[in-house]
Amino acid sequence: MDVAIPHDEQRSQFDLADPREGGKNTELPAEADREKARALKALAIALAAGAVTQALFWRTGFGLNYLLWDLMVLAANVVAFRRAPLRPTAWGAATASALLAFSVVRFESDWVLAVAVVPNLAILAALPILVRDGLTLSQLARVPMRILASVLRIPNAVVEVVQTPGQAAGSGAKKGLRAAVRGVAFGLPTAGLFALLLSSDPDFTALLARVHAALGDAALFVGLTVVTASSYLFTHALHRPRATASDGWAAQLRALGPYRTRDERDLGLAAAVPAARVSLVTWAMVVGQVTAVFALFVAANLRHLFGGAALVRAPGSLTYASYLHAGFGQLLLAATLSVCLVLVGHAAVRPRGVHASAVPGGALLITLESALLVLTGVTLASCAQRLEIYENAYGASHLRLGVAFIQLGIFGVLALTLAKVLHRTWDGHSGATITLFAALAVLASGLDTDAYIAQRNLDRAAAGSELDISYLRTMSPDAAGVLAHPVVTRDSELAAALRETFCAPRASRDWRATRGMSPRRCTAGSTVQP
């Protein structure tokens, strides 16, 4: 018996059929369309960003272009990777990055390029993880593990980048795209072979030279734009938020070790807590012996630790240079190792499977660790005083200023480690240490170091010390303010030499490489005429 099918039901059975397929049901893949739109959008944004980047840095140095690029990258990180409101750690990292990039514009000295660019690039490398995962200060120590997980995802990210152009073209255009690629791959060397055969003709060779001169820069710009766009696509594929925690290598990394997260412990998933790796008594003896060594060192050098310049000037004593360098490297290494010893001890006396914040330790161990860190701080304070004496004797320099910042960083780490010793449940030590060095980088790049060094050396000269004019002339125009120093105004020859250095007309450069926003104190009469 025939059953009549309503017209609407008949239409519903065949409305997805393609008439060209003879009635075969070929439902349009909506997901494929969304994937094509996503790939097309990602490709367009990456190419635009690559072109802007190359336009900013095309045949010029670091300057305002670096700041603009940094701000562009910061905004792109927020747009591409943010899944929730930004945590203070992400805001702090972004602020530090912007300040470091601004220092490159504000000052002209080579010091800024040395201390600002590398830390800034390190912050930008970690920023996608901070934005994506919303890590807190106490979780900053997880960044290296997250970076390792990203490294393990590199093969998948490369495949995703390679597939993006094909996805953007759509399934219907893939054949044409592959055909065009094959045509270029086979046609380009073939055309090159014929061009080589015909190059014996001088007119043809001259024409090729003119074409190369006209298209060479454009081709290079396009090629670099494609490479830069690919790097942006790669970064996005490497760090983009995944739909599930099992997507990628992060879950596999978590399965590699015996440690469990605090959430897992709260759910009762942690195994039975075994004994500590090292007993408290054993580790207390280790720390006690090292502390005794530092105590003996301090006792044996009480006369020298803070002897001052008078000790160096005494007959038969060390020279300024030997007083500074005597054991300086060893002391810095010992200070670093003492911090490591305390932190390794915290991990050693903590039972396996217990969270890092649960560090046991009685009054004796806490006292020994605190004494070790305090004695280490005393020796470093002596090094700082030696550096000041050496600077008073020979003058300030970029190298000596850099050593001072290193000492300041180690002092900060000692203080943070002492806080960890006294408050053993504090789990923010690693994050605070990372924040400390980021803040030091911002501070070091935000100082007008050339002006400080020039002012310091001229003050020494005013007190009767020798002035190294050749080193002073290596300073950038940031130090032009010292032209009003009494030592300079009294010496016409020195004033002329410094005006020639600080007030000479700047070399012609475009707006992208603008640096030295701090006003140069060169009056109209002091400016050197070209």
**Separation of alpha carbons 69 and 76, rounded Å:** 10
Give me the pLDDT at residue 450, please.
92
- Residue for token digits 């990203």? 150
pTM: 0.75
The segment with the largest mean pLDDT, out of 26-30, 188-192, 397-401, is 397-401
- CA dihedral (323, 325, 331, 336) in degrees, to 10, reads 140
Give me the pLDDT at residue 399, please.
87
Give me the pLDDT at residue 165, please.
79
CB 67 within 8 A of CB 105: yes
Q: C-alpha distances in angstroms, 135 versus 259, 284, 504?
A: 18, 34, 49
- CA dihedral (141, 143, 149, 152) in degrees, to 10, reads -120
Alpha helices for 134-201 (secondary structure H): 143-152, 154-169, 174-198
**Separation of alpha carbons 149 and 248, rounded Å:** 8
Give me the pLDDT at residue 318, please.
57
Q: How confident is the model at residue 172 (pLDDT cuts 50, 70, 90)?
A: low
CA-atom Rg of the chain in angstroms: 32
Q: What is the DSSP string of 341-367?
A: HHHHHHHHSSBTTS-TT-----HHHHH
| Residues 6 or more apart in contact with residue 300 via CB below 8 angstroms | none
- Please list, residue by residue across 473-504, b when 16 or more beta carbons sit within 10 angstroms of its beta carbon and e when fewer do: eebbbbbbbbbebebbeebeebbebbbebbbe
CB 339 within 8 A of CB 414: yes
Q: How confident is the model at residue 455 (pLDDT cuts 50, 70, 90)?
A: very high
| Residues 6 or more apart in contact with residue 247 via CB below 8 angstroms | none
| Residues 6 or more apart in contact with residue 48 via CB below 8 angstroms | none
Q: How confident is the model at residue 366 (pLDDT cuts 50, 70, 90)?
A: confident
Q: How confident is the model at residue 254 (pLDDT cuts 50, 70, 90)?
A: very low
Q: What is the DSSP string of 72-115?
A: HHHHHHHHHH--SSPPHHHHHHHHHHHHHHHHHHH--SHHHHHH
**Dihedral sign (CA 144, 146, 151, 152):** positive
**Dihedral sign (CA 480, 481, 485, 490):** positive
Average pLDDT (460-478) is 89
Neighbours of 219 (CB within 10 A): 11
pLDDT for residue 190 is more than 70: no
Q: How confident is the model at residue 425 (pLDDT cuts 50, 70, 90)?
A: confident
Tell me the helix, strand and coil percentages in the chain, rounded to 5: 70, 0, 25
CB 109 within 8 A of CB 449: yes
Q: How confident is the model at residue 520 (pLDDT cuts 50, 70, 90)?
A: low
**Separation of alpha carbons 222 and 211, rounded Å:** 16
What tokens does 208 get?
């090729």
pLDDT, tens only, 475-499: 988 888 899 899 999 989 899 989 8
Give me the pLDDT at residue 526, please.
45
pLDDT for residue 445 is more than 90: yes
Q: Integer distance in angstroms from the first to the last C-alpha of the chain? A: 106
Give me the pLDDT at residue 241, please.
76
Average pLDDT (219-240) is 87
Neighbours of 122 (CB within 10 A): 16
pLDDT for residue 451 is more than 80: yes
What tokens does 520 get?
């140069």
**Separation of alpha carbons 413 and 430, rounded Å:** 10
Give me the pLDDT at residue 269, please.
38
- CA dihedral (368, 370, 372, 377) in degrees, to 10, reads -170
% of the chain with per-residue pLDDT over 70: 69
What tokens does 215 get?
């298209």
Give me the pLDDT at residue 248, please.
43
